[in-house]
Amino acid sequence: MTIIKTERFERVFNKFTSSKKINEGILLIENTSGEFSLMKRYGEKELNSPLLMASITKLFTTTCILILLEQNKLSLEDKIVNYFDINILKGIHVYKGREYSFELTVSDLLFQTSGLPDVYLEGENSLINRIIQEDFHINFCDTISSVKKLKPHFKPRKKGKAYYADINFDILGQIVEKESGLTLSKAYEKYIFEPLRLVNTYLPEDRHNEIPKIYYMNQIIHRPKFVSSSGASGGCITTAQELMIFIKAFFRGKLFNKSIFSSLSIYNKLQASMGPIHYGGGYMQIPLNGLVSLFMGKGELIGHSGSTGSFAFYYPVKDLFFVGDLNQMSDASLPIRLSIQLAMAANRIF
């Protein structure tokens, strides 16, 4: 077995956790076989401490969609109007005077090419601004109503365009429930938790479920109502150890036939506020051969990050998986920058 020096990885993690805005953190790096494994922690975070996955939850929703696709229960080309009352969708996508609401497909949602706006970040009453101030519950119909008050960014499937919006996965979550005949939490259990034997991963549904604390700068905020209503786009709880099990299974074909990635690996750059991130079929892609690495990087990172500092990425060039959490929602770019620097460190080590 090759002995791998880990100092560069450790320096990268220490650099990020030395920031005054970081109160705790956890990092786990492994290769596919598990022969190489490095864990670093900071503050109160441990390998089995609960962490909010936030938008990494989208990978769970993607998994369910792909399994239902394999079971011939849906098609990526299905129009989403097939799954909803027409009045729910009417007016959700009106662009330059034309209604596209009934032309949206499952693929548009999965690839973030619907053009729908993001109520989490957009508008005077954006959810992010409310979350900082208070805890609240928001249901699917509330979210749809909020989306209808905002303008879409482009017509569906406009070439080269993608716009990251939680509503795409909120709708996919509803489709998972309709086609599986299960609640979303039960669908996650059947298709993901049980096959992978994840015992500390769950989708909270009520106040009895533990919701980990979240930091905004140095302020602890507890938002159980919002987290439990975030569902398919960002509501799952896990640990670094179980997140590693999942991300390996996702990209190694243990949950669905990985040949599907040939059709999912069509990437479009997201809006400017998302930095270097591109989006494929249900997951993020970060090219490492451009300005983001001063043209010194190799390959790509694929996986997902969360707005609260969580991350789960695979670096195929070096066969390494990076998972963890910086637990800081004041800067959504932190886990992306950390993952990029870990990949750059890997290039110097191997």
**Residue-range domain boundaries for the chain:** 7-349
Q: How many Å apart are CA 273 and CA 275, to the nearest integer?
A: 5
Tell the CATH topology of 7-349. Beta-lactamase (3.40.710)
Q: Cα 322 from chain centroid?
A: 14
pLDDT reported for residue 2: 46
| The pTM of the whole model exceeds 0.85 | yes
State phi, psi for 175 to the nearest 5 degrees: -65, -40
pLDDT reported for residue 3: 47
Per-residue pLDDT of the chain (350 residues; tens, 9 = 90+): 344 678 999 999 999 999 999 999 999 999 999 899 999 999 999 999 999 999 999 999 999 999 999 999 999 999 999 999 999 999 999 999 999 999 999 999 999 999 999 999 998 888 998 999 999 999 999 999 999 999 999 999 999 999 999 999 999 999 999 999 999 999 999 999 999 999 999 999 766 688 999 999 999 999 999 999 999 999 999 999 999 999 999 999 999 999 999 999 999 999 999 999 999 999 999 999 876 655 567 899 999 999 999 999 999 999 999 999 999 999 999 999 999 999 999 987 66
Q: Is 327 left (phi over 0), alpha (psi -120 to 50) or beta?
A: left
pLDDT reported for residue 334: 96
Tokens of 243: 């997140």
pLDDT reported for residue 293: 58
pLDDT reported for residue 26: 98
Give the Å distances, CA to CA, from 256 to 186, 213, 340. 18, 33, 27
pLDDT reported for residue 193: 98
Tokens of 143: 């979210």
State phi, psi for 311 to the nearest 5 degrees: -155, 150
